[in-house]
Amino acid sequence: MLKFYYAPFSRAFGAFWLLEELGVEYEIVHIDIRVAGGPSEEYRRIQPSKKVPAIEHDGTVVTERAAITTYLADAFPDAGLAPDVGSAARGPYLTWNVYCDSVLDPVLCARAHGLTYANNDYPFGLFDDMVANVERHLSANRYVAGDRFTAADTQLGSAIVHTMRSLKLLPERQAFREYAERMEARQAYQRASRRDYEMAMTLPFFQERFAGTSS
């Protein structure tokens, strides 16, 4: 039994897309992160900061996106979305999976909230270094781990599409646009995206915000 703790239009999207790529059965548990006061205290038992995503697989709870991504790809090896342990591709696969949460997301979050800093003292480093690193990597590689799609692409792909296209925090670069297009063309991405939108539109929070616009 696999439970997916999720909220639409959130950082849970990458895991949602990965579950669709894996083609496994899962049950969605909607956590209302937009309700006044946040999710119920009971949810802290699953995710200590009451955030999404989280998964529960045969009684094991996994939180934090990089861990969830690694866990799921390893738990369902038939999908072939995790490079073998010891293979050359395993290095960039793990590096970029973690980099998305420990560098890319906090750097962009700091910028979104107006945190300015010029030194390299924060563990996530500098905005320009992050952008240059992602651009360099995607200019040289079709996918995170080289020439084939892996679970780590759901991490980087979801982050790039969301922060470049919707939030406009990540600057437009040709390498980012081409990578985003490759990701958006995937059927699993499109299925997850459609369901994410449909679920968002069942919530008054998004019904009000999207009133009068079309998808």
| Least distance in angstroms from the C-beta of 68 to ligand GSH | 7
| Least distance in angstroms from the C-beta of 209 to ligand GSH | 15
C-beta closer to ligand GSH: residue 64 or 146: 64
| Least distance in angstroms from the C-beta of 210 to ligand GSH | 17
C-beta closer to ligand GSH: residue 38 or 146: 38
- Give residues in contact with ligand GSH (CB under 6 A): 10-11, 33, 38, 50-52, 64-65, 101
C-beta closer to ligand GSH: residue 16 or 176: 16
| Least distance in angstroms from the C-beta of 108 to ligand GSH | 12
C-beta closer to ligand GSH: residue 175 or 199: 199
C-beta closer to ligand GSH: residue 10 or 163: 10
SS (H, E, C) the chain: CEEEEECCCCCCHHHHHHHHHHCCCCEEEECCCCCCCCCCHHHHHCCCCCCCCEEEECCEEEECHHHHHHHHHHHCHHHCCCCCCCCCCHHHHHHHHHHHHHHHHHHHHHHHCCCCCCCCCCCCCCHHHHHHHHHHHHHHCCECCECCCCCHHHHHHHHHHHHHHHCCCCCCCHHHHHHHHHHHCCHHHHHHHHHHHHHHCCCHHHHHHHCCCCC
Residue closest to ligand GSH (Cβ): 51
| Least distance in angstroms from the C-beta of 10 to ligand GSH | 4
- Residue 183 contacts residue 161 (beta carbons within 8 Å): yes
